Structure 1
Amino acid sequence: MSDSNLHDQVSPQQAPEPETVTETEAAEKRARKTVTRRQVLAMAGCGVAGLVVGGVLATWGVTSESIASGRITIRTTPTKMIVTDRARCSGCQRCEMMCTLKNDGRVCQSIARVRVWPNYNYGHGVDTKDGVFDNCQFTIESCKQCEDPQCMNYCPVHAIYCDEESGARVVDADVCIGCGMCHAACPWNMPVVDSETGVSTKCISCGRCAEQCPNGAIKFIDWKDIADQVIAQGVVSTATIV
């Protein structure tokens, strides 16, 4: 009997069992979901700026110096801290491609929720001597997940809302009418109406850009990891954790 026939006769019982999540892994995932930005900042007794000055975020390259130089940018959501590092960005634009491939089912960088291309040549601006025309430091832009988002405030049909689980401001595709008011209202013009679907695209903090960045220029950091660092550095006693 040929190898192919043997393969065809393998019974379903002989197929490998699907991977299962252990109880420990499940507990860890639950724990990560329960630690929020508010809890960590309350634990540390300071704001995000205090975490930076105190050196708590230095593990991820976030220091007062790196922020002041323009190399590092940080944004926060209730569940994540998003760190972008210009010095690590090679301008490959993989983040843009993978963002749209996951969220739109096709590669279309003009509607990507994270952007490198608009600043590819000049970086922050024509006077900054950035980008390919000078020092090859590329500017990574993405949604700021504003506390008071203008895109949401100016949407005439209230299609943008705050997702309860992630804390991200997201677009309800069934409600969006593709008017482009969100794009016009956003100071960074981050939401963009997809010409094929007629629906605005908006970052949902899925983290695909970070997962696929070959240089680690984008990081989505769990507040649980930051809480661990707060404790490790003695910023707060474990006795204060409730």
Structure 2
Amino acid sequence: MNREDSLAKQPEFGTSASAWGLRYPGLVMGTGGKNEVKEFTGMWGLKPDADLVAFTETLSREVPVWGGPGKTFSEATTMLGLIRTARWFVARVQDFDGYALFFISQFDGSLDKYFDDFVLNGKENLLKIWGHCVGCPTGPDVTARDVVEYIARGQIKTLACYDVAPSLSIGQIYKAADWYEKTLKFQRAVANGGNLDEQVDAFFDELAQPYKPVLSAAMIDTDVGRHWQYEDLAERTGK
């Protein structure tokens, strides 16, 4: 089957996020629990003069709009309670006759919510990433929604993905970690002796307190623009 036949046979999917121009609803992972994990993968051609050093510095230094003052990229993203993992990488592809930017993300919630949160990042921050790509709308009249619609149009299908616990939401994972630490603290207190009734009361009081989000992290390679790793892949993989 040639490429044109394959594309012609793609099924039509109904998706609540169709307003964003998405062609597919993406893969949905779940095991019958209260939560499902969605994924999005996209590819956009890089401009010949794309500044990947500035690109990576944006992720390592600039603060997303929704985070407020004093928040790092990881801290602000944690506040969303939505994104489970995200990554950007660059590869050489024939479709764009050069290099392309790839973005892969897995998240809780709906595609609508996911792309709505992209809009919250603001036009300027979005352009610091996707503004390095061919066809990304720019100019004073361009809105954040225009840029996000461009991002959505770059969607490609994912062959397979994996999530360790799709039936558990990020909030449930945080709560489990919080209760585990509080239980350990209670066990140590009991082992050290004292008034058991008071210790039990204190333990239940602590359990009733809101959990704190587990610290997230972002690993960013600011040298990626100077250390290309694609040119020798053919010989390294046996072509």
Q: Quick check: TM above 0.5?
A: no
Structure showing greater relative contact order (alpha-carbon pairs closer than 8 Å, 6 or more residues apart):
2
User: Normalised by the size of structure 2, how large is the TM-score?
Assistant: 0.25
